[in-house]
Amino acid sequence: MSKIAELIAQYCPEGVGYRELNEVCNFRNGFAFKSNKFKESGHPILRIGNIQNRKIDTSNLIYFDLTDYSENLKPFEIVNGDILVAMSGATTGKIGRLNSSEVYYLNQRVGKFEPDTSLLLNNFLYHYLLTKSEELYALAGGGAQPNLSSTSLMKKIQIPIPALPVQEEIVNILDKFTALEAELEAELEARTRQYEYYLNKLLSFEGKDVEWKTLGEIGEFIRGSGLQKKDFTDVGVGCIHYGQIYTYYGTSATETISFVSEELSRKLKKAKKGDLIIAGVSENIEDVCKAVVWLGDEDICISGDSYAFRHAQNPKFVGYLFQTNRFLEFKKKYAQGAKVTRLRSGSLPKFKIPIPPLKEQERIVTILDKFDALVNDISVGLPAEITARREQYEYYRGKLLTFDRVNNELL
């Protein structure tokens, strides 16, 4: 930080000038690739859904063949280090920087920034734009169908232009934070794969002499009803809405984030300690029938489109079985619905699970709990460390990108 102060004193003694983005940066809109020409392999295309804040998600790509187009597509190439913005959809205003040696192509409603590097370093622009995601979303109109105009973006966003040596030093500092966070995220990804491997291996009981029973044989399903989000209160009796199961809760919980009044709670179905609370509906197969194990001492209310599964096995043992690949394949077999996914009526109680002795269930749970805490617990393990590093980055980014301002003149 002292070096930054020295550089600013040397190169920007009177402060830093600001410019509209269009004065120091070009902007390229994407090409309208035709959906009927999409391929399963070929040249990869980046769409708005691939743009995540601070990264480009290349796990779900579409492709095209150059021979299908007569246009010159060279201007729409995206290479390592390019900065992209989503211009519409759920990711509107998100800024991502490509980190790949592969060449991608820019789809419509995705924009690419091309800074004048004699004035503005690419990575300085990247770190600064990350502070503007909410402002960009607001410029797009917000709401359910945001639509960002490149003209509005380039004219209404102003950026400080300190001397290049100042930009270089700021980028060096901020890139160190992002590199450390990337290392932690890579480790988290590896640990997650390890967790999933042991989860499925420990719970397969392949080649072992163990009794198998259906969920319907070992317990009962209690369907919730009547609870809606509008019923939530600041205090009262704890409750879990089905949508919270796959958006907030992990494997187990001892506290709820929502409550209902004492009066309403008397009319609602409840989960007891040891019950699995199961989401009966979702927008996708992965989340439907996701379960959280309730381990709190007090009974809590559950919403419609959810179930409390009551049984006499180790609660977390059964909860982990709901995370296995075998259960995912079971759900794929019985899922129905397009926009809203449910399991076919009466199918869930037919799912068969292994029933080892309770002592063995406890042993397996102890092992999986350690992995679960490492990869999923936001208060400990890698998620907590990543959050801390991200907050540290954002703190220093705010400090480093705030300048004393002079009359809109470049220094």
pLDDT digits (tens, 9 = 90+) for 162-195: 999 999 999 999 999 999 998 998 898 899 999 9
pLDDT bin (cut points 50, 70, 90) of residue 1 is low
Position 56 pLDDT exceeds 80: yes
Position 199 pLDDT exceeds 70: yes
Q: Is 35 within 8 Å of 13 (Cβ atoms)?
A: no
Tokens of 271: 């989960």
Per the document, the length of the chain is 411
CA torsion, points 6, 7, 8, 13, in degrees to nearest 10? 80
Half-sphere exposure of 280 (CA within 13 A, CB side): 21
Rounded mean pLDDT, 396-400 = 93
Position 224 pLDDT exceeds 90: yes
Candidates 140, 148, 164, 161; CA nearest to 25 is 161
pLDDT bin (cut points 50, 70, 90) of residue 207 is confident
pLDDT bin (cut points 50, 70, 90) of residue 407 is low
Residue 42 DSSP SS3: coil
Candidates 131, 25, 141; CA nearest to 87 is 141
Q: Is 252 within 8 Å of 221 (Cβ atoms)?
A: no
pLDDT recorded at residue 226: 85
Candidates 97, 114, 237; CA nearest to 175 is 97
CA torsion, points 273, 279, 285, 287, in degrees to nearest 10? -70
Strand partners, 27: 113
Amino acid (one-letter) located at 234: D
Give DSSP secondary structure letters for 45-113.
EE-GGGEETTEE--SS-EEE-GGG--S--GGGEE-TT-EEEE-BSTTTT-EEE---SS-EEEBTTEEEE
pTM across the whole model: 0.74
Position 379 pLDDT exceeds 80: no
Buried/exposed 224-235: b ≥16 CB within 10 Å, e otherwise: beebeeebeeee
